[in-house]
Chain A
Amino acid sequence: MRKLARGVPPKLARGLLFIALAAILPLVVHDGGFVNFLTDAGAYVLLALGLNIVVGFAGLLDLGYAAFFAIGSYAYAMLASPQFGIHIPFWIMLFLASGIAALFGILLGAPTLRLRGDYLAIVTLGFGEIVPQTFLNLPQWTGGPNGLGNLDQPVFFGYRFGFNILPYYYVMLVLIVLAVVVAQNLRDSRLGRAWIAIREDELAAKHVGINTTTTKLAAFALGASFSGLAGVAYGAKLQLVSPDQFQFSVSVAILSMLVLGGMGNITGVILGSILISSLDRLILPQASNLIFALAHVRVDLSNSRFLIYGAILVLTMLLRPEGLLPNRRRRAELHAGTAEAMP
């Protein structure tokens, strides 16, 4: 232990190892489809990290988080495309879109400040429906059901990303590293403690002097800002944004990532999002092929993905309610049983 403490902290060392592995991976695995999958999964990691601030840290159940993903994507689609002839560079849009998403986080968060639990969930569910509907019904700006295409491709010191997947992959990796550092730093700060206090007991939080209004708004804003990043990166990679990318099912999928991985635990959330993405994009199609090969029955398990998500959630709740990599303390809560420390 003493030796470790003198060198690089073990947590940092582990983090750097993961980053190095992730950086080398696409150079070793020459499979464009796989790297493409990883890049898309990366967008979901960003989204899950953002939602984790709202739900995992501050305990505010948000069922409409995809709305902020939509806002980030459409911000890029409208400000970096031929739609209005505005072409703000990708790198500036990352900041701008996360700012816009944060602003909407505050706007949509403000009416919910007095709500908790089920009530909050229902209002956020409403917002999650309203936002894509709005984009759908403003065709003069958003292209309506067709969405907006031909979005600008990022340029890095004169290098055009084009349709090569690798640069998008590395951008996503950098954004994730950034998001993890920000999320960790926030968690271990005055603001992070205030979020956890509100999650645990809002009245007691007020009585240690926490301004619950600004603290909750900060959670909504910062949580939303992550999805601004995800929206820009994802939109630029896909070069297309359309309202059906942001349905309720997307909010549910992101929440499932948190539940499966372990709410409040950053590593758990990353694991959960990669697992759910793999299930959707790799495991189910492969399993369908396997079934065809073995039994000569043509099934597409991808069509049953929500059945399978549902089953995963039910199983998680029954077998490991704290998620795969739990927040240590939440685990204690859920397995306390008879060991309750009451007289």
Chain B
Amino acid sequence: MGLLEMEAVTQRFGGLLAIDALDFTAEAGSITALIGPNGAGKSTVFNVLTGIYRPTAGAVRFDGVRIDGRDSAAIVALGIARTFQNIRLFAQASVLQNVMTGEHVRLHANLLESILHTPRQQTEERAVRERARELLAFVGLTGVDEAAAADLPYGSQRKLEIARALASSPRLLLLDEPAAGMNPTEKNGLITLIERIRERGTTVLLIEHDMGLVMRVAERITVLDHGERIAVGTPAEIRADQRVIDAYLGKPA
């Protein structure tokens, strides 16, 4: 059984069928990619997984637990974290504070402890700060702890968003077009980073348009077109799949 399982998930918006009875699995410890032409329904899948949409039909299970229709914050607490296609950092908060905020669901200080700054709360805060620094070092962002997130260069903002997502100690990390806007050097760095994240024991699911990157990093690829799954397989299998080629390049008349 996969860590994440979508079973016949359908998402309708009025007359538009965004996802059509989709079955999808991400195995624990894998790097899985979700690809497809624009408008194929990839982002809708992420939005269903993270509780933005309640699917019209079907079931989503994470480690055996139904998560469809649950509140976004509750899903994070269960162990799914995400990044956004159009980077959504806490722009005016410091780099360090962004990551510290990411640890929110793993902290225990209650209101009274926060007001009084009790020794226990202080111990927890020191640990939060320490762990945030470790995560920043892990993604390769050092020496910018106190800079405002908005002041970082674009590539660093992507890294920071990944660090913030990792701060909630997720078992599954969803990356929404992590390579968008990156140059080739940054892309190589990203591939290494994704592999190191998996080595930490976090399962990775990514949406990506950059085929070169997907073919290099993903072990399993699912291809969507018009909300339907048209292929599943290893990079080599997907590369050779006629339906995939047709979907991307158009069918010969």
Chain A residues within CB distance 8 Å of chain B: 182, 185-186, 188-194, 196-197, 200-201, 203-212, 218, 327, 329-330, 332-333, 336, 339, 341-343
A209 contacts B116, C-beta separation under 8 Å: no
- Inter-subunit contact B93/A209 (CB<8 Å): no
**Contacts A185-B117, A196-B97; A333 near B73 (Cβ below 8 A):** no
Chain A residues with Cβ below 8 Å from B121 are 189
Which segment of B61-69, B82-90, B205-213 sits at the interface?
B82-90
A116 CB, nearest partner CB in chain B, Å: 15
B193 within 8 Å of A by Cβ? Answer: no
Chain B positions within 8 Å of A186 at CB level: 114-115
Q: Quick one: given A201-B88, A209-B73, A329-B92, are A185 and B168 in contact (CB under 8 Å)?
A: no
Asked if B115 contacts A209 (CB within 8 A), the reply is no
| Contact present for A209 and B117 (CB under 8 Å) | no
Other-chain residue from A185, A197, A207 in contact with B93 (beta carbon distance below 8 A): A197
A189 to B100, CA, bound (A): 10
Cβ-defined contact, B104 with A201, below 8 A: no
Contacting residues, chain A, for B76 (C-beta < 8 A): 207-209
How far, in Å, is B176 (CB) from chain A's closest CB? 11
**A332 contact set on B, CB distance < 8 A:** 92, 148, 150-151
Candidates B71, B100, B125, B151; contact of A341 at CB < 8 Å:
B151
**CB-CB contacts of B90-130 with A at 8 A, as 1s and 0s?**
11111001001110110101010011110001000100000
Taking Cβ atoms with an 8 Å cutoff, the residues of B that contact A are 50, 71-73, 76-77, 81-82, 84, 88-94, 97, 100-102, 104-105, 107, 109, 111, 114-117, 121, 125, 148, 150-154, 157, 164-165, 167-168, 181
- A-B complex: 5 closest residue pairs judged by Cβ atoms: A209-B76, A209-B105, A189-B114, A200-B90, A204-B88
Query: A342 touches which one: B94, B102, B154 (CB < 8 A)?
Result: B154
* Interface contact A185-B151, CB-CB below 8 Å: no
Q: A190 and B114 in contact (CB under 8 A), knowing A197-B93, A332-B148, A343-B181?
A: yes
| Candidate in A208, A211, A212, A336 with the most chain B CB atoms within 10 angstroms | A208
Please determine whether B92 and A194 come into contact, CB atoms closer than 8 angstroms: no
Bound Cα distance A212, B165 (Å): 17
Of A203, A210, A333, A341, the residue contacting B88 (CB under 8 A) is A203
Instruction: Given A332-B92, A332-B150, check contact A194 B115 (CB 8 Å).
Output: no
- Report how far A24 CA is from B154 CA in the complex, Å: 52
Name 19 extra pairs, CB < 8 A, besides A205-B101, A341-B150.
A186-B115, A189-B117, A190-B109, A191-B111, A193-B100, A194-B104, A200-B90, A200-B93, A201-B89, A204-B84, A206-B71, A206-B72, A207-B76, A208-B105, A209-B105, A332-B92, A333-B150, A341-B151, A341-B154
B93 and A329 within 8 A (CB): yes
Contact between chains at A196 and B93 (CB < 8 Å): yes
CB contacts (< 8 Å) of B117 on chain A: these are 185, 188-189
B167 proximity list for chain A (CB < 8 A): 208
Instruction: Check if B92 sits within 8 Å of A200, measured CB to CB.
Output: yes
- Chain A hits for B116, CB < 8 A: 185
User: What's the least CB distance linking A334 to chain B, in Å?
Assistant: 10
Bound complex: CA A29 to CA B100 (Å): 47
- B residues less than 8 Å from A204 (CB atoms): 84, 88-90
User: What are 22 A-B interface contacts by the 8 Å CB criterion?
Assistant: A182-B115, A185-B116, A189-B115, A189-B117, A192-B114, A197-B104, A201-B88, A201-B91, A203-B88, A204-B84, A204-B90, A206-B71, A207-B88, A208-B76, A208-B167, A209-B76, A209-B105, A210-B73, A211-B71, A332-B92, A339-B151, A343-B154
A141 to B190: give the CA distance in the assembly, Å: 67
**Most chain B CB inside 10 Å of its own CB: which residue of A190, A209, A211, A332:** A209
Q: Which residues of B contact A211 (CB under 8 A)?
A: 71, 73
| B68: min CB distance to chain A, Å | 16
Interchain nearest-CB distance for A250 vs B (Å): 27
Q: A333 contacts which of B91, B100, B109, B165 (Cβ < 8 Å)?
A: B91
Min CB–CB distance A107 → chain B (angstroms): 18
Q: Which of B102, B114, B154 meets A185, CB within 8 Å?
A: B114
Distance A341 CA – B153 CA, assembled complex (angstroms):
5
Contact call B91/A200, Cβ cutoff below 8 A: yes
* Min C-beta distance of B212 to chain A, whole Å: 19
